[in-house]
Amino acid sequence: MRTSRIAVTAAAVVAGLTLSACGGDDSTTNADNASSSSPSSPPAEERTESAPAEQPEGESGEAGSPEAEAPDQGSAGQGSGGAGTKPERCHTDDLKITATAATISGDETETVAVELMNKSGRACSIKGFAGVNLLSSEGAIPATRRDQTDGGTVLKSGEPTYFGIFYKKNESGGSGVKIKGLVVTPPDEKKSVTLKWPGKPSLPITDSPETTVEIGPMGSVGQGQG
Print the SS3 string covering 143-154.
CEECCCCCCCEE
Phi-psi label, residue 106: left if phi above 0, alpha if psi -120 to 50, beta otherwise: left
Other beta carbons less than 10 A from residue 148's beta carbon: 13
Q: Domain for residue 226, yes or no?
A: no
Q: What is the pLDDT of residues 158-174, one digit of tens each?
A: 999 999 999 988 877 77
- Collect all residues with Cβ–Cβ distance below 8 Å to 168 and sequence separation of at least 6: 109, 110, 203, 204, 212
Question: Which pLDDT band, with edges at 50, 70 and 90, does 42 fall under?
Answer: very low
Mark whether 111 and 209 lie in a shared domain: yes
Note whether 37 and 107 are same-domain residues.
no
- Find, among 188, 73, 28, 60, the residue nearest to 124 by Cα: 188
Range of the structural domain that residue 11 is part of: 2-76
Average predicted confidence (pLDDT) for the chain: 72
pLDDT tens-place string over residues 8-25: 444 444 444 444 444 444
Mark which of 43, 76, 109 sits at the end of a domain: 76
Does 82 fall in a domain? no
Instruction: Express each pLDDT in 88-125 by its tens digit.
Output: 999 999 999 999 999 987 788 899 999 999 999 999 99
User: What burial letters (b/e) apply to 103-125, b meaning 16+ CB within 10 Å?
Assistant: beeeeebbbbbbbbbbebeebbe
In a domain, 83, yes or no: no
Q: Do 31 and 126 lie in a common domain?
A: no
Query: Which of 32, 48, 76 is the last residue in one of the domains?
Result: 76
Of 76, 111, 135, which residue constitutes the final position of a domain?
Answer: 76
Residue 173, phi-psi category: left (phi > 0), alpha (psi -120 to 50), beta (remainder): left
In this structure, is residue 225 part of a structural domain? no
Cβ(117)–Cβ(90) below 8 Å: no
Report residue 193's pLDDT band, with 50, 70 and 90 as the boundaries.
very high
